[in-house]
Chain A
């Protein structure tokens, strides 16, 4: 199932997207709404996969779309035919920046916010399957670059050609890396499942 809401599937036709972008750049609000409907959820999912914080993920999605709107009306968008790689490159950079910022200033003293976030995380864990919880742990064991490829593929819903364009790697290299990353994820999932079965526990520490 797609993360994009029903009735707003992304168009694979580049010409269609170009026409919508052109209309939006001329101030057409319905065209802009269409772009937001097509891509906001995918950008949000990508940020949420990495940051595990819906508020921060939404802030990032908002900043990406504010940048996009400013570029469209200011004439700064010149990536005709490569819109999605361009959009997700902006999103990936913002996510990386946020991660760096968080690593530099990891502490927060707002205990109320922390407890709210932990309560939501706990609620989310109870609604997702054990396999998904294990997968999230396994994703954390991948290198940042391999994880980015997997997330662009599944959360960003991009084609391999688009991902290759986004991360600046040859298609063949990218396919091999994606396959290796999936194989590693599978091995980690099998390992954690076996550890959980023998110890009666869950995810390895």
Chain B
């Protein structure tokens, strides 16, 4: 038994001793449920296989460094790609609409439900392209998507939006 289990008070409650014993048994069985394979070149125990599959990383720090650097860059790039996807499609829709109509781009109110569903699908499709969780960056992504959605579904044109921003910024 790990000594850690005894370094903090609070675990022992007579009414719960049996439950804790069952939990320990379940944990033991889960630990032993790793596949034991005698035919594998990497070894037949869990520890053998994990050691064999990771030992090279220790001896090739430059490779590990490059992998780390790649990961650090790939994540923002993926997020940027997803944002570009959100920004690009409404932009194309606006351009097509503006090309045939001199009025500012608008979306009919009774169409907004369909647009929202499409937007949700778009978000889900884009997020599924990312093989890593977005974590904290998802909030930023969602905020950008919401802002773009509002821009597309509002009665204001891009021109009006830009003018408002310019006035707000005092430029």
Contact = CB atoms under 8 A, between A and B. Distances in A.
Interface stretch (A106-114, A127-135, A196-204): A127-135
B49 interface: yes
A186 interface: yes
Contacts of B34: 41, 44, 48, 54, 57-58
Contact of A154 (B24, B53, B59, B61): B24
Given A2-B2, A183-B16, A74 B61 contact: yes
Given A3-B30, A159-B4, A36 B47 contact: yes
A124 B128 contact: no
Sorting the interface of chain B by its residue count into under 10, 10 to 19, 20 to 34 or 35 or more gives 35 or more
A100 B10 contact: no
B41 to A, nearest CB: 15
Given A36-B50, A49-B30, A58-B34, A70 B64 contact: yes
A95 to B, nearest CB: 12
A157 interface: yes
Given A36-B51, A49-B26, A150-B23, A159 B46 contact: no
Interface of B is mostly: helix
Contacts, number: 176
B103 interface: no
A167 to B, nearest CB: 14
B35 A158 contact: no
B111 interface: no
Given A45-B27, A61-B46, A70 B67 contact: yes
30 contacts: A1-B1, A2-B2, A2-B28, A3-B31, A12-B2, A27-B58, A33-B47, A36-B54, A45-B27, A45-B30, A48-B30, A54-B35, A68-B54, A69-B64, A70-B68, A72-B58, A132-B29, A150-B23, A154-B20, A154-B26, A154-B27, A155-B31, A157-B4, A159-B4, A159-B5, A160-B10, A161-B7, A178-B10, A186-B16, A186-B18
Interface string B37-49: 0000000001101
A10 B31 CA distance: 15
Interface of B: 1-5, 7-8, 10-11, 13, 15-16, 18-20, 22-35, 46-47, 49-51, 53-55, 57-59, 61, 64-65, 67-68, 128, 133
Contacts of B13: 179, 182
B27 A3 contact: yes
B4 A40 contact: no
Contacts of A175: 8, 10
A40 B47 contact: yes
